[in-house]
Amino acid sequence: MSETSATTETGEPASRPRKSSWKYIGPGIVVAATGVGAGDLVATLIAGSKFGYTLMWAAVIGCIVKISLAEAAGRWHLATGRTLFDGWRSIGAWTTVYFAIYVVVWGFIYGATAMSSSALPIVALFPDGPGLKFWAIVTGLIGLAFVWFNRYAVFEKVMTVLIGIMFVVVVYVAARVVPDVGASFAGLVPVLPDGSLLYTLGLIGGVGGTITMAAYGYWVNAKGWSNSFWMKVMRLDNRVAYITTGIFVVAMLIVGAELLHASQLALTSGDRGLIDLGKVLEDRFGTGTAKLFLVGFFATSFSSLIGVWHGVSLMFADFVERFRAPAAEDAAEKEHAGPAVVDRQQRSLPFRAYLLWLTFPPMTLLWLDEPFGLVIAYGVLGAFFMPFLALTLLWLLNSSRTPSQWRNGWLSNGMLALAGLLFIVLCVQQVRELPW
Protein backbone atom coordinates (compact mmCIF):
# COMPACT_ATOMS: atom_id res chain seq x y z
CA MET A 1 0.00 0.00 0.00
CA SER A 2 1.31 3.46 -0.87
CA GLU A 3 -0.72 5.18 1.80
CA THR A 4 0.11 6.43 5.28
CA SER A 5 -2.20 7.36 8.10
CA ALA A 6 -3.19 10.93 8.72
CA THR A 7 -5.95 12.61 10.67
CA THR A 8 -8.77 14.88 9.63
CA GLU A 9 -9.50 18.19 11.31
CA THR A 10 -11.91 16.31 13.59
CA GLY A 11 -9.19 13.97 14.77
CA GLU A 12 -10.54 10.99 12.83
CA PRO A 13 -8.11 8.76 10.94
CA ALA A 14 -7.91 9.34 7.22
CA SER A 15 -5.85 7.96 4.37
CA ARG A 16 -3.15 9.99 2.72
CA PRO A 17 -1.31 9.21 -0.51
CA ARG A 18 2.46 9.46 -0.56
CA LYS A 19 2.30 10.93 -4.06
CA SER A 20 -0.05 11.32 -6.99
CA SER A 21 -0.07 7.98 -8.80
CA TRP A 22 -1.80 6.39 -11.79
CA LYS A 23 -2.73 3.37 -9.69
CA TYR A 24 -5.23 5.43 -7.68
CA ILE A 25 -7.27 6.39 -10.74
CA GLY A 26 -10.90 5.24 -10.59
CA PRO A 27 -13.69 7.77 -9.93
CA GLY A 28 -12.77 9.70 -13.08
CA ILE A 29 -13.10 6.53 -15.16
CA VAL A 30 -16.53 6.01 -13.61
CA VAL A 31 -17.71 9.55 -14.38
CA ALA A 32 -16.37 9.34 -17.95
CA ALA A 33 -18.08 6.00 -18.60
CA THR A 34 -21.36 7.27 -17.13
CA GLY A 35 -21.37 10.67 -18.78
CA VAL A 36 -20.80 9.50 -22.35
CA GLY A 37 -24.08 8.01 -23.53
CA ALA A 38 -25.17 6.66 -26.90
CA GLY A 39 -27.08 9.87 -27.69
CA ASP A 40 -23.90 11.91 -27.12
CA LEU A 41 -21.99 9.78 -29.59
CA VAL A 42 -24.73 10.20 -32.20
CA ALA A 43 -24.72 14.00 -31.75
CA THR A 44 -20.94 13.98 -32.29
CA LEU A 45 -21.29 11.75 -35.36
CA ILE A 46 -23.88 14.08 -36.85
CA ALA A 47 -21.62 17.10 -36.24
CA GLY A 48 -18.80 15.26 -38.04
CA SER A 49 -21.09 14.21 -40.90
CA LYS A 50 -22.28 17.80 -41.46
CA PHE A 51 -19.05 19.75 -40.95
CA GLY A 52 -16.24 17.22 -41.29
CA TYR A 53 -13.23 18.04 -39.09
CA THR A 54 -14.08 21.73 -38.81
CA LEU A 55 -15.43 21.52 -35.23
CA MET A 56 -12.54 19.51 -33.77
CA TRP A 57 -11.55 22.58 -31.73
CA ALA A 58 -14.98 22.59 -30.03
CA ALA A 59 -14.42 19.01 -28.81
CA VAL A 60 -11.11 20.07 -27.23
CA ILE A 61 -12.67 23.09 -25.49
CA GLY A 62 -15.53 20.90 -24.29
CA CYS A 63 -13.00 18.54 -22.70
CA ILE A 64 -11.33 21.45 -20.86
CA VAL A 65 -14.70 22.79 -19.65
CA LYS A 66 -15.63 19.36 -18.22
CA ILE A 67 -12.24 19.01 -16.50
CA SER A 68 -12.88 22.35 -14.78
CA LEU A 69 -16.40 21.45 -13.66
CA ALA A 70 -15.55 18.00 -12.31
CA GLU A 71 -12.39 19.33 -10.62
CA ALA A 72 -14.51 21.94 -8.86
CA ALA A 73 -16.98 19.31 -7.61
CA GLY A 74 -14.17 17.06 -6.38
CA ARG A 75 -12.32 19.99 -4.78
CA TRP A 76 -15.42 20.99 -2.82
CA HIS A 77 -15.75 17.49 -1.33
CA LEU A 78 -12.06 17.16 -0.44
CA ALA A 79 -11.44 20.71 0.78
CA THR A 80 -14.51 20.98 3.00
CA GLY A 81 -15.28 17.38 3.95
CA ARG A 82 -18.88 18.14 3.03
CA THR A 83 -20.99 16.76 0.23
CA LEU A 84 -22.16 18.82 -2.72
CA PHE A 85 -25.78 18.68 -1.64
CA ASP A 86 -24.71 19.93 1.78
CA GLY A 87 -23.11 22.88 -0.01
CA TRP A 88 -26.21 23.51 -2.11
CA ARG A 89 -28.37 23.46 1.00
CA SER A 90 -26.19 26.12 2.62
CA ILE A 91 -26.97 28.47 -0.31
CA GLY A 92 -30.71 28.45 0.31
CA ALA A 93 -33.92 26.41 0.40
CA TRP A 94 -34.54 26.99 -3.32
CA THR A 95 -31.76 24.52 -4.16
CA THR A 96 -33.56 21.81 -2.18
CA VAL A 97 -36.85 22.50 -3.96
CA TYR A 98 -35.21 22.43 -7.40
CA PHE A 99 -33.26 19.24 -6.72
CA ALA A 100 -36.26 17.44 -5.19
CA ILE A 101 -38.44 18.05 -8.25
CA TYR A 102 -35.59 17.45 -10.69
CA VAL A 103 -34.41 14.14 -9.27
CA VAL A 104 -37.93 12.65 -9.25
CA VAL A 105 -39.03 13.73 -12.76
CA TRP A 106 -35.60 13.24 -14.37
CA GLY A 107 -35.17 9.78 -12.85
CA PHE A 108 -38.57 8.61 -14.09
CA ILE A 109 -37.91 9.46 -17.75
CA TYR A 110 -34.17 8.73 -17.72
CA GLY A 111 -34.81 5.22 -16.40
CA ALA A 112 -36.86 4.33 -19.49
CA THR A 113 -34.35 6.02 -21.81
CA ALA A 114 -31.35 4.19 -20.32
CA MET A 115 -33.05 0.78 -20.46
CA SER A 116 -34.15 1.29 -24.08
CA SER A 117 -30.68 2.49 -25.08
CA SER A 118 -29.05 -0.57 -23.53
CA ALA A 119 -31.55 -2.88 -25.22
CA LEU A 120 -31.12 -1.48 -28.76
CA PRO A 121 -27.70 -3.04 -29.52
CA ILE A 122 -28.77 -6.38 -28.02
CA VAL A 123 -31.79 -6.49 -30.34
CA ALA A 124 -29.51 -5.62 -33.28
CA LEU A 125 -27.05 -8.36 -32.29
CA PHE A 126 -29.81 -10.95 -31.84
CA PRO A 127 -32.58 -9.95 -34.27
CA ASP A 128 -34.34 -13.32 -33.98
CA GLY A 129 -34.58 -13.14 -30.19
CA PRO A 130 -36.96 -11.27 -27.87
CA GLY A 131 -37.91 -7.68 -28.65
CA LEU A 132 -36.81 -4.28 -27.35
CA LYS A 133 -39.16 -4.15 -24.34
CA PHE A 134 -37.97 -7.54 -23.06
CA TRP A 135 -34.29 -6.60 -23.25
CA ALA A 136 -34.96 -3.14 -21.79
CA ILE A 137 -36.55 -4.72 -18.73
CA VAL A 138 -33.73 -7.28 -18.44
CA THR A 139 -31.00 -4.62 -18.57
CA GLY A 140 -32.86 -2.53 -15.99
CA LEU A 141 -33.17 -5.50 -13.61
CA ILE A 142 -29.51 -6.46 -14.08
CA GLY A 143 -28.49 -2.87 -13.33
CA LEU A 144 -30.70 -2.85 -10.23
CA ALA A 145 -29.31 -6.14 -8.89
CA PHE A 146 -25.71 -5.18 -9.64
CA VAL A 147 -25.86 -1.83 -7.83
CA TRP A 148 -28.02 -3.20 -4.98
CA PHE A 149 -25.64 -6.03 -4.04
CA ASN A 150 -22.22 -4.53 -4.81
CA ARG A 151 -20.18 -1.81 -3.14
CA TYR A 152 -18.11 0.85 -4.88
CA ALA A 153 -14.93 -1.22 -5.40
CA VAL A 154 -16.69 -3.84 -7.55
CA PHE A 155 -18.74 -1.15 -9.31
CA GLU A 156 -15.54 0.71 -10.28
CA LYS A 157 -13.89 -2.44 -11.67
CA VAL A 158 -16.89 -3.22 -13.88
CA MET A 159 -17.08 0.37 -15.09
CA THR A 160 -13.36 0.22 -15.95
CA VAL A 161 -13.96 -2.89 -18.08
CA LEU A 162 -16.90 -1.24 -19.85
CA ILE A 163 -14.98 1.95 -20.63
CA GLY A 164 -12.08 -0.20 -21.85
CA ILE A 165 -14.44 -1.88 -24.33
CA MET A 166 -15.84 1.51 -25.37
CA PHE A 167 -12.37 2.94 -25.86
CA VAL A 168 -11.02 0.03 -27.91
CA VAL A 169 -14.08 -0.17 -30.16
CA VAL A 170 -14.42 3.56 -30.84
CA VAL A 171 -10.70 4.05 -31.51
CA TYR A 172 -10.62 0.90 -33.66
CA VAL A 173 -13.52 2.11 -35.82
CA ALA A 174 -11.88 5.55 -36.16
CA ALA A 175 -8.65 3.87 -37.29
CA ARG A 176 -10.53 1.67 -39.81
CA VAL A 177 -11.99 4.69 -41.59
CA VAL A 178 -8.43 6.10 -41.99
CA PRO A 179 -8.51 9.66 -40.61
CA ASP A 180 -7.16 12.61 -42.55
CA VAL A 181 -4.44 13.73 -40.11
CA GLY A 182 -3.89 17.08 -41.83
CA ALA A 183 -7.58 17.95 -41.75
CA SER A 184 -7.75 16.85 -38.09
CA PHE A 185 -5.06 19.34 -37.08
CA ALA A 186 -6.61 22.03 -39.27
CA GLY A 187 -9.85 21.48 -37.34
CA LEU A 188 -8.14 22.69 -34.15
CA VAL A 189 -8.29 26.25 -35.50
CA PRO A 190 -11.56 27.82 -34.25
CA VAL A 191 -13.93 28.28 -37.19
CA LEU A 192 -17.73 28.55 -37.30
CA PRO A 193 -19.17 27.38 -40.62
CA ASP A 194 -22.66 28.60 -41.54
CA GLY A 195 -25.30 26.82 -39.49
CA SER A 196 -22.80 25.27 -37.07
CA LEU A 197 -23.36 27.37 -33.94
CA LEU A 198 -25.75 24.98 -32.19
CA TYR A 199 -23.65 21.95 -33.12
CA THR A 200 -20.59 23.74 -31.76
CA LEU A 201 -22.29 24.59 -28.47
CA GLY A 202 -23.58 21.03 -28.24
CA LEU A 203 -20.09 19.60 -28.76
CA ILE A 204 -18.64 21.86 -26.07
CA GLY A 205 -21.43 21.36 -23.59
CA GLY A 206 -23.07 18.05 -24.36
CA VAL A 207 -20.73 15.07 -24.32
CA GLY A 208 -20.14 13.82 -20.80
CA GLY A 209 -22.12 16.65 -19.25
CA THR A 210 -24.88 15.29 -17.03
CA ILE A 211 -25.91 15.08 -13.39
CA THR A 212 -23.15 12.49 -13.01
CA MET A 213 -20.62 15.33 -13.01
CA ALA A 214 -22.15 16.32 -9.67
CA ALA A 215 -21.86 12.68 -8.55
CA TYR A 216 -18.09 12.78 -9.10
CA GLY A 217 -17.43 14.10 -5.59
CA TYR A 218 -19.48 11.27 -4.09
CA TRP A 219 -17.44 8.68 -6.02
CA VAL A 220 -14.26 10.43 -4.87
CA ASN A 221 -15.40 9.90 -1.27
CA ALA A 222 -16.45 6.29 -1.99
CA LYS A 223 -12.91 5.63 -3.26
CA GLY A 224 -11.57 6.62 0.16
CA TRP A 225 -10.39 10.12 -0.73
CA SER A 226 -11.79 12.18 2.11
CA ASN A 227 -9.53 15.18 2.66
CA SER A 228 -7.30 17.68 0.88
CA PHE A 229 -4.27 15.34 0.98
CA TRP A 230 -5.90 13.63 -2.02
CA MET A 231 -6.26 16.80 -4.08
CA LYS A 232 -3.40 16.06 -6.51
CA VAL A 233 -4.61 12.50 -7.01
CA MET A 234 -8.15 13.71 -7.69
CA ARG A 235 -6.91 16.22 -10.25
CA LEU A 236 -4.87 13.57 -12.07
CA ASP A 237 -7.85 11.21 -12.00
CA ASN A 238 -10.16 13.90 -13.36
CA ARG A 239 -7.82 14.88 -16.20
CA VAL A 240 -7.41 11.27 -17.28
CA ALA A 241 -11.21 10.91 -17.30
CA TYR A 242 -11.92 13.84 -19.55
CA ILE A 243 -8.93 13.32 -21.82
CA THR A 244 -10.41 9.85 -22.36
CA THR A 245 -13.77 11.49 -23.08
CA GLY A 246 -12.03 13.86 -25.48
CA ILE A 247 -10.54 10.90 -27.35
CA PHE A 248 -14.05 9.40 -27.67
CA VAL A 249 -15.36 12.66 -29.12
CA VAL A 250 -12.46 13.06 -31.55
CA ALA A 251 -12.79 9.42 -32.67
CA MET A 252 -16.52 9.79 -33.33
CA LEU A 253 -15.95 13.07 -35.19
CA ILE A 254 -13.44 11.24 -37.38
CA VAL A 255 -15.99 8.49 -38.08
CA GLY A 256 -18.63 11.10 -38.92
CA ALA A 257 -16.25 13.07 -41.11
CA GLU A 258 -14.74 10.14 -43.01
CA LEU A 259 -17.61 7.67 -43.19
CA LEU A 260 -20.64 9.94 -43.42
CA HIS A 261 -19.57 13.43 -44.52
CA ALA A 262 -18.04 12.45 -47.86
CA SER A 263 -20.96 10.21 -48.85
CA GLN A 264 -23.61 12.56 -47.41
CA LEU A 265 -25.19 9.78 -45.35
CA ALA A 266 -27.67 10.88 -42.67
CA LEU A 267 -28.25 9.23 -39.30
CA THR A 268 -31.39 9.04 -37.21
CA SER A 269 -31.06 11.38 -34.23
CA GLY A 270 -30.90 9.82 -30.77
CA ASP A 271 -29.68 6.36 -29.81
CA ARG A 272 -31.10 4.70 -32.95
CA GLY A 273 -28.53 6.58 -35.01
CA LEU A 274 -25.92 4.08 -33.81
CA ILE A 275 -27.97 1.26 -35.33
CA ASP A 276 -27.80 3.19 -38.62
CA LEU A 277 -24.03 3.49 -38.22
CA GLY A 278 -23.79 -0.24 -37.55
CA LYS A 279 -25.42 -0.90 -40.93
CA VAL A 280 -23.04 1.52 -42.66
CA LEU A 281 -20.05 -0.23 -41.02
CA GLU A 282 -21.36 -3.63 -42.10
CA ASP A 283 -21.64 -2.47 -45.72
CA ARG A 284 -18.16 -0.93 -45.65
CA PHE A 285 -16.11 -3.25 -43.42
CA GLY A 286 -18.14 -6.44 -42.95
CA THR A 287 -20.22 -8.13 -40.29
CA GLY A 288 -17.37 -8.54 -37.79
CA THR A 289 -16.70 -4.80 -37.48
CA ALA A 290 -20.44 -4.07 -37.29
CA LYS A 291 -20.96 -6.57 -34.45
CA LEU A 292 -17.90 -5.28 -32.59
CA PHE A 293 -19.33 -1.78 -32.86
CA LEU A 294 -22.65 -2.97 -31.41
CA VAL A 295 -20.78 -4.47 -28.46
CA GLY A 296 -19.16 -1.06 -27.93
CA PHE A 297 -22.59 0.56 -28.25
CA PHE A 298 -23.90 -1.74 -25.50
CA ALA A 299 -20.90 -0.97 -23.24
CA THR A 300 -21.54 2.76 -23.75
CA SER A 301 -25.23 2.53 -22.90
CA PHE A 302 -25.04 0.03 -20.05
CA SER A 303 -22.17 1.86 -18.33
CA SER A 304 -24.33 4.99 -18.32
CA LEU A 305 -27.23 2.99 -16.88
CA ILE A 306 -25.37 1.48 -13.92
CA GLY A 307 -23.43 4.71 -13.39
CA VAL A 308 -26.65 6.67 -12.94
CA TRP A 309 -28.22 3.86 -10.88
CA HIS A 310 -25.28 4.14 -8.48
CA GLY A 311 -24.24 7.82 -8.56
CA VAL A 312 -27.63 9.55 -8.59
CA SER A 313 -28.97 7.12 -5.96
CA LEU A 314 -26.04 8.19 -3.75
CA MET A 315 -26.93 11.84 -4.31
CA PHE A 316 -30.58 11.12 -3.49
CA ALA A 317 -29.61 9.29 -0.28
CA ASP A 318 -27.49 12.28 0.76
CA PHE A 319 -30.34 14.64 -0.15
CA VAL A 320 -32.80 12.73 2.06
CA GLU A 321 -30.30 12.53 4.91
CA ARG A 322 -29.76 16.31 4.91
CA PHE A 323 -33.45 17.06 4.41
CA ARG A 324 -34.58 14.83 7.29
CA ALA A 325 -32.21 16.28 9.87
CA PRO A 326 -32.16 20.10 10.08
CA ALA A 327 -29.25 19.78 12.49
CA ALA A 328 -27.31 17.79 9.94
CA GLU A 329 -25.48 20.92 8.75
CA ASP A 330 -23.62 21.11 12.03
CA ALA A 331 -23.05 17.35 12.06
CA ALA A 332 -21.83 17.39 8.48
CA GLU A 333 -19.11 19.86 9.38
CA LYS A 334 -17.84 17.39 12.01
CA GLU A 335 -18.31 14.21 10.00
CA HIS A 336 -16.12 14.36 6.92
CA ALA A 337 -17.67 12.79 3.88
CA GLY A 338 -15.71 9.61 3.28
CA PRO A 339 -16.02 5.90 2.49
CA ALA A 340 -17.77 5.12 5.79
CA VAL A 341 -20.44 7.74 5.09
CA VAL A 342 -20.88 6.56 1.51
CA ASP A 343 -21.08 2.92 2.60
CA ARG A 344 -23.78 3.80 5.10
CA GLN A 345 -25.71 5.69 2.42
CA GLN A 346 -25.42 2.75 -0.01
CA ARG A 347 -27.12 0.55 2.58
CA SER A 348 -29.80 3.11 3.36
CA LEU A 349 -33.49 2.95 2.52
CA PRO A 350 -33.43 6.18 0.40
CA PHE A 351 -30.58 4.80 -1.77
CA ARG A 352 -32.50 1.60 -2.46
CA ALA A 353 -35.82 3.39 -2.85
CA TYR A 354 -34.37 5.60 -5.59
CA LEU A 355 -32.84 2.54 -7.25
CA LEU A 356 -36.34 1.06 -7.41
CA TRP A 357 -37.72 4.38 -8.70
CA LEU A 358 -35.18 4.39 -11.54
CA THR A 359 -36.06 0.81 -12.47
CA PHE A 360 -39.73 -0.09 -12.10
CA PRO A 361 -41.96 2.98 -12.71
CA PRO A 362 -40.06 3.89 -15.93
CA MET A 363 -40.90 0.45 -17.34
CA THR A 364 -44.46 1.73 -17.90
CA LEU A 365 -43.06 4.25 -20.41
CA LEU A 366 -41.80 1.39 -22.56
CA TRP A 367 -45.43 0.76 -23.55
CA LEU A 368 -46.60 4.36 -23.62
CA ASP A 369 -45.56 7.47 -25.47
CA GLU A 370 -43.92 9.79 -22.99
CA PRO A 371 -46.69 12.02 -21.60
CA PHE A 372 -46.55 15.58 -22.93
CA GLY A 373 -46.38 17.24 -19.52
CA LEU A 374 -43.55 14.97 -18.39
CA VAL A 375 -41.56 15.64 -21.56
CA ILE A 376 -41.83 19.38 -20.95
CA ALA A 377 -40.93 19.10 -17.25
CA TYR A 378 -38.04 16.74 -18.00
CA GLY A 379 -36.71 19.05 -20.72
CA VAL A 380 -36.90 22.22 -18.62
CA LEU A 381 -35.49 20.69 -15.42
CA GLY A 382 -32.72 18.92 -17.32
CA ALA A 383 -31.77 22.04 -19.28
CA PHE A 384 -31.37 24.00 -16.06
CA PHE A 385 -29.18 21.44 -14.27
CA MET A 386 -25.80 22.18 -15.87
CA PRO A 387 -26.11 25.99 -15.42
CA PHE A 388 -27.24 25.25 -11.85
CA LEU A 389 -24.16 23.09 -11.24
CA ALA A 390 -21.66 25.53 -12.79
CA LEU A 391 -23.03 28.63 -11.06
CA THR A 392 -23.49 27.06 -7.62
CA LEU A 393 -19.93 25.70 -7.72
CA LEU A 394 -18.75 29.21 -8.62
CA TRP A 395 -20.69 30.50 -5.60
CA LEU A 396 -19.50 27.85 -3.12
CA LEU A 397 -15.83 27.91 -4.11
CA ASN A 398 -15.52 31.69 -3.79
CA SER A 399 -17.16 31.85 -0.35
CA SER A 400 -16.02 31.33 3.23
CA ARG A 401 -17.58 27.86 3.07
CA THR A 402 -14.34 26.75 1.35
CA PRO A 403 -10.96 26.99 3.15
CA SER A 404 -9.04 29.92 1.67
CA GLN A 405 -6.21 27.84 0.16
CA TRP A 406 -8.72 25.81 -1.86
CA ARG A 407 -10.93 28.62 -3.15
CA ASN A 408 -11.07 29.39 -6.85
CA GLY A 409 -8.22 31.15 -8.57
CA TRP A 410 -8.65 33.30 -11.67
CA LEU A 411 -8.41 30.29 -14.00
CA SER A 412 -11.06 28.26 -12.16
CA ASN A 413 -13.34 31.28 -11.96
CA GLY A 414 -12.89 31.96 -15.66
CA MET A 415 -13.62 28.35 -16.66
CA LEU A 416 -16.65 28.01 -14.38
CA ALA A 417 -18.02 31.36 -15.58
CA LEU A 418 -17.49 30.26 -19.20
CA ALA A 419 -19.22 26.94 -18.44
CA GLY A 420 -22.11 28.74 -16.74
CA LEU A 421 -22.58 31.09 -19.70
CA LEU A 422 -22.34 28.24 -22.21
CA PHE A 423 -24.88 26.12 -20.35
CA ILE A 424 -27.28 29.06 -19.99
CA VAL A 425 -27.23 29.49 -23.79
CA LEU A 426 -27.76 25.74 -24.26
CA CYS A 427 -30.51 25.81 -21.63
CA VAL A 428 -32.41 28.54 -23.48
CA GLN A 429 -32.02 26.67 -26.77
CA GLN A 430 -33.20 23.37 -25.27
CA VAL A 431 -36.25 25.02 -23.73
CA ARG A 432 -37.09 26.73 -27.04
CA GLU A 433 -36.92 23.39 -28.87
CA LEU A 434 -39.36 21.66 -26.53
CA PRO A 435 -42.76 20.72 -28.06
CA TRP A 436 -44.71 23.36 -26.15
Question: Which SS3 state, helix, strand or coil, does residue 15 take?
Answer: strand
pLDDT surpassing 80 at residue 69 = yes
Q: State residue 436's pLDDT score.
A: 65
> pLDDT over 70 for what percent of the chain?
86
Please tell me the pTM assigned to this model.
Answer: 0.88
Query: In terms of pLDDT, which residue wins out, 247 or 6?
Result: 247
CA distances from 27 to 32, 80, 215, 432 (A): 9, 18, 10, 35
Which has more confidence, 329 or 182? 182
pLDDT band at 341 (very low <50, low <70, confident <90, very high): confident
Give the 3-state secondary structure of residue 269. coil
| CB 83 within 8 Å of CB 77 | yes
Nearest-CA neighbor of 205 among 165, 249, 145? Answer: 249
- Express each pLDDT in 177-206 by its tens digit: 888 888 888 888 888 888 777 778 777 766
Q: What is the pLDDT of residue 222?
A: 92
Output the pLDDT for position 80: 93
93 backbone dihedrals φ, ψ, rounded to 5°:
-65, -25
- pLDDT at residue 12 in the model: 40
Least confident of 50-64, 261-275, 398-412: 261-275
Give the per-residue pLDDT at 391. Answer: 94
> For residue range 352-405, what is the model confidence (pLDDT) as tens digits?
999 999 999 999 988 876 656 666 766 677 778 889 999 999 999 999 999 999
Task: Give the model's pLDDT for residue 333.
Answer: 45
